[in-house]
Amino acid sequence: MHAHSHAHDQGETRSSHLFVHPELADVFAALPERPDNPYADVAALRAGFRALMAPLMPADDGRVTIRRTSLTGPDGNTIDVQVLRPAGAVGVLPGVLYLHGGGFVYGELDGPSPMAREACVAAGAVVVNVHYRLAPEHRYPAGVEDCYAALEWMAARAGELGLDADRIAVTGASAGGGLSAAVCLMARDRRGPRIVWQGLLIPCLDDRLHTASVRRVTDRRIINGAGLGHTWDTYLGPDRGPDTPAYAAPARATDLSGLPPAYVLTCGLDPLRDEGRDYARRLMEAEVPVETKDVPGAWHFFEAYAPHTEVARRTTAHWLAALRAALTTAPRESAPRPSAARA
């Protein structure tokens, strides 16, 4: 009995009692411990993420053309965007609003992220990669309002950008997944541009931190439940009250009807797993079409740490296939409804 309780104590700090995907076990074992509050040194956090992503950033990516431009944000601020188009693509393409992750605080890279590039190539789409304002310099609602402004800009400039305003998807990972969910709520409530698909990848949706997965994932080598408290404090401000708006934490939205079809990706060793699954279930209950995928034994954003594993490749291919299918089959709102004799 005593030995068992000691093993459990060890497990609390090292997650040894949690299932780790066999393909990821060696990478997981070698991860360094993270600081208790990574947001205490924002400059180091931003630099560390750039260093993690550097090996995944192509020096010369012939698959896409990249145009840098900017738009005016809701506060008269300038929002830098990168517009990606598949090399050699002609004609009008579907559009993707890509919102990067990084706890609402970091995640910007010198070029478009690998995920934005992959989305462009896989979906044959014009991708708008948004450099929204970041906390703590700019707390909620600056970042999400920038993302929504970029959606409106995309739809208004569709002709110039070579994209179809009736086929725009919104996607992002982690904080970018939360921002994507929020932009969909905003577009519905404000009667804004039509969104045909929301890709919520390991989304950060709920500041209440009350799920079982938040309590379960305590390992200090990976994003854990305690760390999420610091994420929300940084985004919303340490003096935040109990009534966080739904555009900040979409899990707080009481009505999920009328939202775009969704794809929700979660990971078994991610403290965010349960809020993603809960949101997917509530979307389903609201008659929103939802596809879900969970990767057991994988941690938050594991693909960046183990990009060459089969499980990482399969996970990436899965969400990209869902994005492509959504943009390929999206019904044209402006087109007449197909008749039975369409064969």
Catalytic residue, candidates 146, 206, 207, 270: 270
Catalytic residue, candidates 21, 100, 131, 300: 300
Pick the closest to residue 116 from 66, 152, 153, 41 (CA basis). 66
Does the annotation mark 300 as catalytic?
Answer: yes
Does the annotation mark 174 as catalytic?
Answer: yes
Catalytic residue, candidates 15, 21, 113, 174: 174
Does the annotation mark 213 as catalytic?
Answer: no
d(CA 9, CA 25): 20
Q: In what order do the strands lie in the sheet with 64-72?
A: 64-72, 78-86, 126-131, 93-99, 163-173, 197-201, 262-267, 290-295
Pick the closest to residue 175 from 275, 261, 82 (CA basis). 275
| C-alpha distances out from residue 19 to 13, 24, 28, 149, Å | 14, 11, 11, 41
Catalytic residues: 174, 270, 300
